Every structure is written in structure tokens, then in C-alpha cells.
A = this chain, B = another copy of it.
């Protein structure tokens, strides 16, 4: 290493020696050689891309973590699923869904922050890590709050975390505006930076101030503090939906001041498409592997047990775990294919609005429940009432996960034209193909649900058939769609031809200029 260093120094010194500053540079070459980025302002300025990817990975893991306590709740085979499920629904699933929403709120705030600050340096990277550490602690404080609703400690911890996160974000903003080369280009060249700074700080401080009040109320009248927290979590979503509905109902698009597009909570405010993809990838990856984590940890049989119970036959011992493996492959395939649909959808999407982000969050929250549902389908005796209900729950979860993906597509079509690539926006073959992809899972899930209701004694075979058929359907989808379209064309072409003839009779010579307007 030392040898190499000196060699490099020598090379460097020789290279410099031809220049006029030869002597000075030879003295300082080791210690002060100016770097390209030095000239730009600060030698440690970096692109924020990888920091954001790492943050997305951390946040997607944390968003799905509370599904684990749900999945590991042991259900007794003899008690009815409905009853135990009601207990589950009451606490753990609610905690999971709320945690998911809380983390996605924090994630959305993180996105908006780093849309303003586009470059980072070492200090910002470290501040961001501190922020991440606190966010990963939120699910725990929340589950403490849910387990001990009458105790103020949970709410205190939760609010303290949120306030400190807000403080760190404020420090990041102030640091960013003190080093303007870190800001995004738009704000960097803007003349009223101070206005931006105060506006952003004002938006950031809203949530911590509400939490401060929640802490104060927790000592006086604790239900009020829960109301405040509910406002914190749901307010952006509610105000968004109301505004979106209002703008659709009145038919006029609200004029958004383009320079203030950040930090407005407007439903058409763009989210970073890259980060929505990264976060979704993280969630899909964690959820797809949740069951194999359990299998690797818990389902390697004990050598002693194999010897005593199964007479040394490993195959026999593994047959015991058969349902678990089936559940794993089933859930991996379903999550993988839902990811595949998501991937295809986002290939065509050019801009992600907040509304689409919200629908995506709902879809992901349902995806998170999939491994649990698949695990349930194999835990009960064949043809029991429990098994039927577990299978139907799986169908419902798949249905909603797929339906919200479809809703993203509808939102993209309904929304601004700029949200989709033109070649899928117009009703071309890709448009139909995309629709078929998105509709496949909701349709299949609905079909399976209805079939299991009618033929309840064959529910398990129907479900397994569905698991096998769906990947094949995806492989052959392009073929099937083309076949369907050809059939449709053959059927419709006489009607269309008649209609066209009729139209041509009515307006035989429409002038070209009129058409073009």
C-alpha cells in the first residue's frame, strides 16, 4: 500500500512538474491536490441515488414487519377460525395496517424532502441514517400503544419519535439551504430561496406540533391525543381524496402554481416514480420470502425426532412439512406474479401522482397479508369449515391486491394525459394487453371465490388448480389476448362496416381542416 502510494505520488508530481506552478504543487501535491468536485464547491457532494435506495429498502422492510406477529399467531384447529380471526382482526391485523400506513406517511415525507435536496454530502447521509433509525422504531412504539391503550407511555414514545424525526428533517432542510449546491436546480436558481425554506419548514413542522399537543393531552385527556394522532395519519389522505373528488365533480382542474409543486399535498403532485418502484420492490421481495424465512428457521426436522418418530426416514418426516412448502411456493408465485403485473404497469406509467401512490400503498398492504393467508389454507383439516374460510380469505386478499393495481391504471387513465405513455393511452393492442394482465388476478380470485362457495367440498383442489393455472395463463396471455382480439374483430367487422357505410352516407365529404381541429 505504502509503496503504491509513493509511486502514485511520484507519477502525480512528474505530471505536474511541467506546469508553471511546478514548485508549489510539488510541495503540496500529497496534501492539497484539487479535485474536480472541489472546484464545484465541496469535494464531498454526492448524488443521493444510493442513499435513497437504501432508505427505501429499510422502509419497505419496516412497513411489512408487523405482519410477522399476525403470521406467528398459532391457531388451534379445534376452535373455529371465525372466532380466532375476530380476535386477530381486532388487534394484530389493525396494528399491521396502521403501521403500514404510518411508515408510508413517513416515506412520502422522506420522498418530498429529497425532491428538494437532490445532492447529499457526508453529514446529510449520517443525519438521514439517524432519521431512518427512529422511523424503524415507530412500529414498536405503535404496537405498544395498541397493546396498552390506557397507558400513556406508548403515546409518549411514539410522539417523541415523531418529534425527533421532524427535528432531524428540519435540520436537513436548514443544512440544505445553507449549502445551496445541494438543492434541486429549480430552487437553486430561484430568487426567493428564503420563502421556499420557510414554506417547507412550516409544512414539516405541522406533524411534530400536532404530536406535541398529543403529548400534552395525553396527561390531561388521553382520548383527545388519539384523535390528534388519527388526524396526523389520515389528514393528508382525507384532504387529498376530498380535493380530488371536488376537482372531478366541479370539472375544473385546480391551477397548481408550478413552482410550488412540492409540499402542497395536492393529489396530482408527482411522487418520484423511481422511489415508488424501489419501495414496492422492497415490499414484494420481503413478502415473497417471508415464508421461506420461517421454513428455514423452523422446519428442519430434529435428527433425534426423525430417529424416534419416523424410524429414521427423512422423507416421512419432511412429508409432515409438505403443506408449508406448498404454501411457500404458492405465495412466492402469487407475490412474484403480482410484482410482474406491477412491473408491467409501471413500464407504461410516466408520472406517479399522490393518488396513484396511495392506491399503490393499499395494494401493497394487501400483498403483505398474502403469505399469512396462504399459510392458513394448509393449516387445517381437509374439507373443514376452517379450510374453506381460509381459502376464501386468500381469494379476497388476492382480489383486493389486484383490484388496487387496476385502480392505479384507471387513475392514470382518468388523470392527466401525461401520466401514461401515449402508445398505451390510446386504445391500441398494448392497451388491451395491459388491461388483460391487470384484470387476470381479480377475475381469477373472484371466480375461485364463487366456485368455492358453490362447490365447497372441492375448495382445496379448486384453489390448487388456480395456483397452477395462473402462471401458465400469464405465459400464454399475449397469445390469448391476440386470439380474443382476432375473434372480436371477426365478429364486429360486419357491424362496423355497416356503421361506417351509414356514417359515410351521412357525411360524405368532411373537410380536412375541420378534422384537424
- Residue positions of A touching B, CB distance < 8 A: 1, 4-5, 8-9, 11-12, 14, 17-18, 23, 26-37, 43-44, 46, 50-51, 53-54, 57-58, 61-62, 65-66, 68-69, 72, 122-123, 125-126, 129, 132-133, 136-137, 139-140, 143-144, 147-148, 151, 153-154, 277-278, 281-282, 284-286, 288-289, 292-293, 295-297, 299-301, 303, 306, 314-315, 318, 329, 332-333, 336-337, 339-340, 343-344, 346-347, 410, 413-414, 423-430, 432, 471, 474-475, 477-478, 485, 488-489, 493, 496-497, 500, 510, 512, 515-516
Residues of B contacting A496 in the complex (Cβ-Cβ under 8 angstroms): 27
Residues of B contacting A26 in the complex (Cβ-Cβ under 8 angstroms): 500
Residues of B contacting A140 in the complex (Cβ-Cβ under 8 angstroms): 292, 295-296, 299-300
Interchain CA distance A485-B29 in the complex, whole Å? 12
A176 to nearest B CB, angstroms?
Answer: 17
Residues of B contacting A500 in the complex (Cβ-Cβ under 8 angstroms): 23, 26-27
Are the CB atoms of A474 and B343 closer together than 8 Å?
A: no
Listed A/B pairs (17) with beta-carbon separation below 8 Å:
A9-B426, A9-B427, A30-B427, A35-B429, A35-B430, A37-B423, A54-B339, A54-B343, A65-B289, A123-B475, A133-B333, A137-B292, A139-B296, A140-B296, A148-B314, A151-B314, A282-B285
Are the CB atoms of B65 and A293 closer together than 8 Å?
A: yes
**Most chain B beta-carbon neighbours within 10 Å: one of A65, A126, A427:** A427
Are the CB atoms of A292 and B65 closer together than 8 Å?
A: yes
Residues of B contacting A9 in the complex (Cβ-Cβ under 8 angstroms): 426-427
Interchain CA distance A452-B309 in the complex, whole Å? 48
Are the CB atoms of A54 and B284 closer together than 8 Å?
A: yes
Interchain CA distance A72-B286 in the complex, whole Å? 20
Q: Are A425 and B8 also in contact (CB < 8 A) when A54-B281, A285-B57 are?
A: yes
Are the CB atoms of A414 and B53 closer together than 8 Å?
A: no
A72 to nearest B CB, angstroms?
Answer: 7
Residues of B contacting A346 in the complex (Cβ-Cβ under 8 angstroms): 50
A100 to nearest B CB, angstroms?
Answer: 13
Are the CB atoms of A289 and B144 closer together than 8 Å?
A: no
Are the CB atoms of B278 and A129 closer together than 8 Å?
A: no
Are the CB atoms of B33 and A136 closer together than 8 Å?
A: no
A68 to nearest B CB, angstroms?
Answer: 5
**9 other A-B residue contacts (CB within 8 Å) besides A11-B426, A50-B277, A129-B336:** A30-B428, A50-B281, A65-B292, A68-B293, A136-B332, A143-B300, A144-B300, A147-B303, A151-B314
